[in-house]
Chains A and B, each alone.
Chain A
Amino acid sequence: MADKSRRAFMGNVLAGVAGVGAVASLYAMKKTWDPLPSVVSAGFTTVDMTQLEAGKLEVIKWRGKPVFLLKHSADVKKDPARDVVIGNESYTVVIGLCTHLGCIPSWQNDKQIFHCACHGGTYDVHAKNTFGPPPRPLDIPPFAIKGTSLTLGEEGPEYKKMAQA
């Protein structure tokens, strides 16, 4: 009897140690597949919005995608559901990939539209689809407003409010 319980104890110890080792190994393997710290930090891009000129499109790269930054001129009607407002200025901040098939639309300031050359889709100044095949407006990336600058990749309260609406 004593012999039996001793064997059971030995068995349990072996299983326990092996189990801890297996879990630890899996954890290490999982972490090895994670994005590198440099990749994660590159996932957050901060831009100073005061340097933008009204009506002139600025394109920056964020997580491998083009992001459109467009400062509105004074005569553009406000759209609280789509505009990023910093101080008195409002901006269009969107991922610059056509929601139809992912081409990159171009900004035409004279017509105040984004035009996609691939299949003729157009979006207005707030990047809402107005014509052609695009099924929805251009996507708004997660952003956080910090003073006069904007951090892409971080979900600030203004973004969360927009995403909920």
Chain B
Amino acid sequence: MAKLEKANSVGEWLDQRLATTKLTKVMMTEYWIPKDINFLWAMGVVLMVTFKLLIISGIFLLMYYKPDVNMAFDSVNFTIMQDVAYGWLFRHIHGVAASVVFLVMYIHMFTGIYYGSYKRGREMIWISGMLLFVLFSAEAFSGYMLPWGQMSYWAAYVITNIFGGIPFIGDELVVWIRGNFYVSDATLTRFFMLHVFLVPLAIIGAIALHFYALRIPHVNNQKGEEIDFEEEANKYKAGNKKRSKVIPFWPVFLSKDIFVLSAFLIFFFYLVFYHYNFAMDPVNFDPADGLKTPAHIYPEWYFLWSYEVLRGFFFDIAGIKAADLGLIAFGIAQVVFMLMPWLDRSPTVAPANQRPYFRVWFWLMLVVLIVLTVYGKLPPTGTNAWIGFYASIAFLLLFVALPFLTAKEAKVGGK
């Protein structure tokens, strides 16, 4: 221990022991963000706040929720919704935030794809981000089971059944995951554990990794310009704030972020108070019944695109069963975005609209995902089934084409 002098204030006392001054510099006032960004760069902070809303509302729901097949439905729909003061508020915040968090995540993801923020040293940011997407999906699925309504039950039934498609161990795996031969009390209680403890813990860890991954390559900017952060930071610190290409995270970057966040929260609470119904499926207000399948089973909107890829293949091709084809395509769809940094063969980091081929790919991908999302909700009959099939094929082909397109673009010379 170094020689300690008497502290003159609480701040100084803490600084001696925790190096708070240095910590603030490293984390806040000397963490440099490029100036050349727009409101889309605020989505990270928006996501962080939405996640906090989920945790806080979740804590209050947890005080009255009962993870038992005989009590779960009533504990949500009667105790929380009718008896607990403001229970409805926390449930609606939780439900709406679960939906909105995916909307913002998709915007965040496609911002990254559009500006090429997944390559040239930023691969780990992208991978940790996609890992977060997978974890949030697991969190959404396990949480959807808890109210133990009809959709909860049958979503759990269909999704756990998907594991039955894995060769050799499939059937045993499904029973193992469920803890029973069918979705039952054991299933509900273990998914409750995953939802309130293990998956959130993993999410918090992955968020830490995601933030840390930003430190070395730094945040990208609107032009994909390579910035010498040290030099620009020195300019800023020397008082040449106008000429410097960077700003400190706190207070400059966050002050703009907080503005975007405020706009977002107005929208968010408008949904919570006046339009929460989109996040509350009416079918889920019937208690779970393992002997009665709802006429149409569909996931929440944010899973529709991958659900449509799963069921897009409705006939056998080359001796491979339709169900297996769908499962393979679904498996690919879950991981393929993670490979973006390697599928994009062009070294250019630039917005998509400045890249002649990638621009086309980007907008086509967005259209295909919207088509898949829309048709994922419709019953898979007649023309709908065919549109789903072709959209699923298009989705896969776009990823097959991506390396060739971008390699060619690199030769032609983007920009």
Please list the residues of chain A having a beta carbon within 8 angstroms of any beta carbon in chain B: 30, 33-36, 39, 43, 63-66, 97, 101-104, 118
Contacts and interface: CB of A to CB of B under 8 A. Distances in A.
B186 A36 contact: yes
24 contacts: A33-B176, A33-B177, A34-B176, A34-B179, A35-B178, A35-B179, A35-B186, A39-B179, A39-B180, A39-B181, A39-B186, A63-B180, A63-B182, A64-B182, A64-B183, A64-B184, A65-B290, A65-B291, A97-B293, A101-B293, A101-B295, A103-B292, A104-B291, A104-B292
B53 interface: no
B261 to A, nearest CB: 40
B42 interface: no
B290 A64 contact: yes
Contacts, number: 44
Interface residues of B, number: 17
Nearest to A65: B182
B292 A36 contact: no
B190 interface: yes
Contacts of A64: 180-184, 290
Contacts of A66: 291
Nearest to A100: B293
Given A34-B179, A35-B179, A103-B293, 7 more contacts: A33-B190, A35-B180, A36-B186, A64-B180, A64-B184, A97-B293, A102-B293
A3 to B, nearest CB: 33
Contacts of B291: 65-66, 104
Contacts of A104: 291-292
A42 to B, nearest CB: 9
Contacts of B175: 35
Contacts of B176: 30, 33-35
The 5 closest A-B pairs by CB, nearest first: A64-B182, A102-B293, A63-B181, A64-B290, A39-B180
Nearest to A133: B381
Contacts of B186: 35-36, 39
A44 to B, nearest CB: 10
Nearest to B381: A133
Contacts of B184: 39, 64
B349 to A, nearest CB: 41
Given A33-B176, A33-B190, A36-B186, A43 B295 contact: no
Interface string B351-382: 00000000000000000000000000000000
Contacts of A35: 175-176, 178-181, 186
A58 B295 CA distance: 25
A43 B181 contact: yes
Contact of B179 (A33, A97, A101, A118): A33
Nearest to B185: A39
A101 B295 CA distance: 7
A118 B183 CA distance: 23
A113 B183 CA distance: 30
Nearest to A63: B181
Interface in B274-312: 290-293, 295
A101 to B, nearest CB: 6
A94 B365 CA distance: 45
A101 B186 CA distance: 25
Contacts of B177: 33
Nearest to B190: A33
A118 B182 contact: no
